Amino acid sequence: MTAIAVLGNGRVGGNLATALARAGHEVTVADRTPGAAAAAARTAQVVINATPGAGSLDRLAALREELRGKILLDVANATVDGPDGLPARLIHPGSSLAEQLQEALPETRVVKTLNTMLFPVMTAPATLSQAPDAFLSGEDPQAKQIVCELLVDLGWRKEWITDLGGIETARATEAAILFVPHVIRSSGFAPFAISIAR
């Protein structure tokens, strides 16, 4: 059992919190109440960033002390939305939210994952007609191993999880969000994920 704090109680955070609690983990969800995020992060081993990506850097940088020594599992994508509310462009072109978080939180082990899919797939990957991929980006091998184990608890088979390497590889996976609005406009809001055919 892992003590997990989920920052963000929207569709993504709520979905992850429910599934991880069902898998036997001790899960605390922090809403926007002042002090809630700090209190949750302080007692957790793993903190999941499920806050809106555009404001994630400021919110999490303010938790530097609470996040010291913790694993930060970042699932957010930092984008500017278009008039239809769908992602239009990246906030950190030439970098990534994950890299910015790691720079702002040098004593926190940031791992990027689950950001190349619509949120229902995060906790139910086997419901797709073909195997999806979950990608890991991060500097700390032990942190990535712990995140990998959490993904398995969420229903991801180990062969569906690909370690891309260091935190800079999150640039590639975060850029995949730019596919999303076009796919949704073309096919509707049906669950999908990026998959590498092998």
Per-residue pLDDT tens digits of the chain, which is 198 residues long: 899 999 999 999 999 999 999 999 999 999 888 899 999 999 999 999 999 999 999 999 999 999 999 999 999 999 999 998 899 999 999 999 999 999 999 999 999 999 999 999 999 999 999 999 999 999 999 999 999 999 999 999 999 999 999 999 999 999 999 999 999 999 888 999 999 988
Residue type (1 letter), 26: E
Phi, psi for residue 154 in degrees, rounded to 5: -85, 0
Spatial distance between the Cα atoms of 154 and 176, rounded to a whole number of angstroms = 22
Q: Which of 74, 90, 69 is nearest to 7 (CA)?
A: 74
| Residue 164 DSSP label | E
Torsion of CA 185, 95, 10, 184, to 10 degrees: 10
Decide if 6 contacts 30 (C-beta within 8 A).
yes
CB 97 within 8 A of CB 58: no
